[in-house]
Amino acid sequence: MPGPNNRRQKMEKPKDAVKTIKKIFSYLAESKWLLFLVVFFVIISASAQVAGTYFLKPLINDYIIPLIGKNNPDLFGFIRLLVLMGLVYVFGAVSTFLYNRLMLRVSTKTLFKIRMDLFSHLQKLPIRYFDTHAHGDLMSLFTNDTDTIRDMFSQSFVQIVSSFITVTGVFFVMLFLSPLLTMVVVVMVVVMVFVTKALGKRSGNFFIKQQRSVGTLNGYIEEMIEGQKVVKVFCHEDKAKEEFGVLNEDLFHDARGANTFAGMLMPLMNNLSYLNYAATAMVGGVFAVFYGLDIGTLASFLQYTRSFSQPITQISNQFNSIVLALAGAERIFAVMEESPESDEGYVTLVNVKDDASGNIVECGGHSGMWAWKHPHHDHSLTYTRLTGAVEFADVTFGYNPDKTVLYDIDLFAKPGQKIALVGSTGAGKTTITNLLNRFYDVPDGKIRYDGININKIKKSALRHSLSMVLQDTHLFTGTIADNIRYGRLNASDEEVIAAAKLANADTFISHLPKGYDTMLVSDGSNLSQGQRQLLAIARAAVANPPVLVLDEATSSIDTRTEALIEKGMNSLMQGRTVFVIAHRLSTVRNSDSIVVLEQGRIIEQGNHDELMKLKGHYFELYTGMFELT
Measured distance between the N- and C-terminal CA atoms of the chain, rounded to whole angstroms? 25
* Residue-averaged pLDDT of the chain: 81
Predicted pLDDT at 629: 45
The tens digit of pLDDT for each residue in 535-579 reads 888 888 888 888 888 887 666 566 666 666 566 566 667 778 888
Query: Taking residues 65-93, what's their average pLDDT?
Result: 82
Whether 111 has a pLDDT exceeding 80, the answer reads yes
Predicted confidence (pLDDT) at residue 391 exceeds the cutoff of 90: yes
Q: State pLDDT tens for residues 115-167.
A: 999 999 998 888 888 888 877 778 888 888 888 888 888 777 788 888 888 88
Please state whether the predicted TM-score (pTM) of the whole model is above 0.85: no
The dihedral through the CA atoms of 61, 66, 69, 70 has a sign that is negative
CA–CA gap between residue 177 and residue 319 (Å, rounded): 31
Q: What is the pLDDT of residues 574-621, one digit of tens each?
A: 778 888 887 777 778 888 899 999 988 999 999 888 999 988 888 888
Burial class (CB in 10 A: 0-12, 13-18, 19+), 582: buried
Rounded to whole angstroms, how far apart are CA atoms 554 and 534?
Answer: 9
User: Mean of the pLDDT values across residues 172-198?
Assistant: 80
Of residues 217 and 462, which shows the higher confidence score? 462
Identify whether the C-beta of residue 89 lies closer than 8 Å to the C-beta of residue 53. no
What are phi and psi for residue 385, nearest 5 degrees? -60, 135
Please report the DSSP string for 355-373 in residue order: -TTS-EEE-SS--S-EEEE
Residue 73 has pLDDT above 90, yes or no: no
What pLDDT sits at residue 256?
A: 80
Residue 173's pLDDT is: 84
Cα R_g (the chain), whole angstroms: 36
Mean pLDDT check: name the lowest of 287-296, 447-456, 613-622: 287-296
Indicate if the pLDDT at residue 281 is higher than 60: yes
The residues, any chain, with a CB within 8 Å of residue 368's CB and separated by 6 or more, are none
pLDDT (mean) for 444-473: 87
The whole-angstrom separation of Cα 295 and Cα 110 is 49
Query: Alpha-carbon distance 88 to 297, whole Å?
Result: 20
Give the Cα separation of 285 and 273 in Å (integer): 18
Q: Rounded to an integer, what distance in angstroms lies between the CA atom of residue 163 and that of residue 55?
A: 20
Please tell me the distance from the alpha carbon of residue 607 to that of residue 625, in angstroms, as a whole number.
Answer: 19
Predicted confidence (pLDDT) per residue in 2-53, tens digit: 444 333 333 345 567 788 888 888 888 888 888 889 889 988 988 888 888 8
DSSP state of 55: T
Q: Measured between alpha carbons, how far is 575 from 548 in angstroms, rounded to an integer?
A: 11
Q: pLDDT value at position 7?
A: 37
3-state helix, strand, coil in the chain (%, to 5): 60, 15, 25
pLDDT above 50 (res 465): yes
CB-CB contact of 524 with 481 (8 Å): no
Q: Is 364 exposed, middle or buried (0-12, 13-18, 19+ CB in 10 A)?
A: exposed
